């Protein structure tokens, strides 16, 4: 099992550009989520999904879109990148919301 | 929604001493409380978790206690070692509403050799 994988590891964008952060898991987990981590602010939930075809907003959803067409994949789209979106992005998955959540290795995004 | 507060933000202890990190939560419906350890540049990794039907859980040098009435839970690390140095995050998950973890802001633990 590869677990939770994320690509790319690093990305630099210019303001206004769009891109998609990829997240995949091979553990057949129903539950997937995206967090951003900023210094001194812990992990904040962006969007999450309780199963294929179902997504919901988290604490900081503005500027991001998600979709869940398959159990394995949960991409995060930045519509028009802003410097405030400079952060480390983590994807996580679990069998359900109340079981262990496994984190991916993260994507470090810089928006200039 | 759920709000989780974590204290202290930094903690420095001597090797062999104990360390305690405390968290409070706001949503009485929360029923799952994991603790994550994050080393520099790495992903968060679960170290211990507790569910609301249990008051205490231990795993070797690590223990977590939960007080549902007061809505707080704590991480206890005994006989600390330099490799325990990391950032620790608590989290809470509500049984209703937004079914996603809400994290505390983290505690940077430094164990001095």
Residue-wise pLDDT for B32-81, tens only, equals 999 999 999 999 999 999 998 889 999 999 999 999 999 999 999 999 99
pLDDT at A40 over 90: no
pLDDT at A31 over 80: yes
pLDDT at A101 over 90: no
Q: pLDDT over 70 for what percent of chain A?
A: 96
Which tens digits make up the pLDDT trace of B13-25?
A: 999 999 999 999 9
Instruction: Tell me if chain B has a CB within 8 Å of the CB of A2.
Output: no
Strand pairing class (B107-112; B10-14):
parallel
Quick check: A52 and A71 in contact, CB under 8 A?
A: yes
Q: How much is the pLDDT for A96?
A: 67
Q: pLDDT over 90 for what percent of chain A?
A: 86
Q: How far is CA B54 from the centre of its chain?
A: 15
Q: How much is the pLDDT for A104?
A: 97
Average pLDDT over residues B92-100: 76
Of A42, A98, A101, the CB nearest to B104: A42
pLDDT at B9 over 60: yes
Of A45, A56, A106, the CB nearest to B43: A106
Partners of A97 on chain B (C-beta within 8 Å) are: 32, 93, 99-101
Nearest one of B92, B42, B86, B22 to A104, comparing CA atoms: B42
> What is the DSSP secondary structure assignment for residue A109, as one 8-state letter?
E
Average pLDDT over residues A65-94: 96
Instruction: Tell me if chain B has a CB within 8 Å of the CB of A43.
Output: yes
Partners of B9 on chain A (C-beta within 8 Å) are: 40
pLDDT at A1 over 60: yes
Q: Cβ B102–A45 below 8 Å, yes or no?
A: yes
Q: How much is the pLDDT for B15?
A: 97
Partners of A104 on chain B (C-beta within 8 Å) are: 43
Where residue A98 falls among pLDDT bands split at 50, 70, 90? Answer: low
- List of residues 6+ apart from B86 with CB closer than 8 A: B37, B38, B39, B40, B108, B109
Partners of A105 on chain B (C-beta within 8 Å) are: 42-43
Quick check: A104 and A7 in contact, CB under 8 A?
A: no
For chain A, how many helices (H) and strands (E)? Answer: 0, 11
Q: How much is the pLDDT for B54?
A: 83
């Amino acid at each position: 099992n590869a677990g939770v994988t994320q690509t790319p590891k690093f990305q630099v964008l210019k303001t206004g550009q769009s891109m998609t952060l990829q997240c995949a898991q091979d553990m057949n987990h129903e539950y997937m989520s995206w967090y951003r981590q900023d210094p001194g602010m812990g992990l904040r939930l962006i969007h999450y999904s309780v199963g294929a075809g179902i997504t919901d907003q988290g604490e900081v959803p503005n500027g991001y879109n998600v979709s869940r067409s398959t159990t394995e994949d949960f991409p995060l789209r930045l519509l028009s990148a802003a410097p405030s979106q400079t952060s480390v992005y983590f994807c996580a998955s679990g069998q359900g919301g109340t079981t262990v959540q496994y984190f991916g290795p993260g994507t470090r995004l810089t928006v200039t | 929604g759920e709000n989780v507060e974590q204290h202290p933000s930094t903690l420095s202890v001597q090797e062999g001493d104990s360390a305690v990190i405390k968290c409070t939560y706001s949503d009485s419906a929360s029923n799952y409380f994991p603790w994550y350890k994050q080393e520099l540049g790495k992903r968060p990794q679960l170290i211990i978790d507790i569910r609301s039907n249990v008051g205490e859980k231990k795993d070797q040098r690590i223990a977590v206690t939960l007080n549902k009435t007061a809505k707080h839970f704590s991480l206890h690390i005994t006989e600390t070692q330099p490799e325990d140095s990391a950032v620790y995050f608590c989290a809470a998950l509500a049984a209703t509403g937004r079914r996603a973890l809400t994290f505390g802001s983290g505690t940077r633990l430094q164990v001095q050799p």
